[in-house]
Homo-oligomer: A and B are copies of this chain.
């Protein structure tokens, strides 16, 4: 991944990236998350920005802190991430998409095609 300069804050993109790594099992339960300084170096961002991403994940219960040892993936991480995404999808994305489809006369079949063609 590269950090793209769109309107999404960098710290948010970093948190999303780490969440993705967890969902895709690149980071397992109780595995150590890269340190703030490592993240900052890897993505060439300031340590404070990396820290903010970590704080975001921590406050959501996705990672937990062992003092002086860094952050680790919590057991419930996967569930929390999925629940958050599902909530976001149901409440925001889906209604917006449905509305747009009706307005534009897009059929469910077109979406189904895209769905079936999807490669990760």
Question: What is A's interface to B at a CB cutoff of 8 Å?
Answer: 5, 9-10, 20, 23, 46, 59, 64-68, 82, 85-86, 89, 93-104, 106, 108, 111-112, 114-115, 118, 120
Are A98 and B85 touching (Cβ within 8 A)?
Answer: no
Q: Which residues of B contact A102 (CB under 8 A)?
A: 115, 118, 120
Please report the C-alpha to C-alpha distance between residue A23 and residue B99 in the assembled complex, in whole angstroms. 12
Q: How many copies of this chain does the complex contain?
A: 4
Contact between chains at B98 and A97 (CB < 8 Å):
no
B118 touching A103 by the CB < 8 A rule? no
Chain A interface, DSSP helix/strand/loop, else mixed: helix
Contact of A5 among B59, B67, B120 (CB under 8 A): B67
Given contacts A5-B65, A67-B10, A114-B94, contact A82 B108 (CB under 8 A): no
Q: Verify B66–A5 contact, CB threshold 8 A.
A: yes
Contact B101 A115 (CB under 8 A): yes
Contact yes or no, B98 A115, CB < 8 A? yes
Contacts of A93 in B (CB 8 A): 93, 96-97, 100
Q: Is the CB of A104 within 8 A of B85?
A: yes
The residue among A65, A82, A85, A115 with the most chain B CB atoms within 10 A of its own CB is: A115
